[in-house]
Structure 1
Amino acid sequence: MSRPNAQSMKPATAAKKLDVYLPATPAEFQENAITRDEVAALLADPPQWLKDLRKNGPHPKNLVAAKLGVSISGLARGGVVDALTTEQIDALLAEKPDWLVAERESYQAVLAEERRVKALRAEKAR
């Protein structure tokens, strides 16, 4: 990786752009600044470690929430505080614990309300 400069970013920022959980990345990635070009290269031709992380995890909370169909707050209310692997996410989806069912229903209701408000605003703008 490269030295910090105006075109580089912290590893945490690069991990967010790559949608990966930073503590699961290789040490070299975590310890060095990454340039925009390097991030673009990783996106264009991901190395095996990146492919494995994206496929198997552990995944960052935003991706865990999306895969479970809940909000990040819903994860916290359900007691999920750590990153989860794809296998753990699949197990939760199969088990359907009460908190997950409730949070999914709640999240869908919030999304429906957001769509209703957006449509109402669009109608008023006409």
Structure 2
Amino acid sequence: MTARKSQTMKPATAAKKLDVYLPATPAEFQEGVVSRDELNALQADPPEWLRELRKNGPHPRPVVAARLGVSISGLARAGVTEALTTEEIDAIRDEDPDWLERERATQAEVRRQEADQKRP
């Protein structure tokens, strides 16, 4: 009987699953492959670098969008195309620019329509 080979993924896939911005991860993470077991270990007991990235960023656009309550498309329409830190996200929230209010309203409408479609 042969031992099963552990499933591996590219660092970009692992970063996406961990909700972190790949260029901000350590070089050894970016340059290697990540096994399913390693990913599970990172999720179960995150090392300091992962805890720090999740807390302070920079965050990938899906995380930025979620924290601001808008879609990724809404970020793009507003010209936000780069990863942002928690501090930058908080500053946008504090400023409450017009685009953020518009995009939140758009997101709320989309969610309402999706909920309506799910009803029998």
Normalising by structure 1, report the TM-score: 0.89
Partner of 2:47: 47
Secondary structure of the corresponding residue to residue 105 of structure 1: helix
Shift in Å at residue 110 of structure 1?
Answer: 0.8
Shift in Å at residue 6 of structure 1?
Answer: 5.9
Partner of 1:68: 68
Q: How many residues align?
A: 116
Identity of aligned residues (%): 66
On the 8 A contact 2:6/2:36 being kept in 1, the answer is no
Measure the CA separation in 2 of the matches of 1:40 and 1:6.
12
Stretches of structure 2 that go unaligned for 5 or more consecutive residues are: none
Shift in Å at residue 8 of structure 1?
Answer: 1.0
Secondary structure of the corresponding residue to residue 30 of structure 1: helix
Partner of 2:32: 32
Partner of 1:118: 118
Measure the CA separation in 2 of the matches of 1:39 and 1:6.
11
Measure the CA separation in 2 of the matches of 1:12 and 1:118.
33
Partner of 1:23: 23
Shift in Å at residue 7 of structure 1?
Answer: 1.4
Q: How large is the Cα RMSD of the aligned pairs? A: 1.0
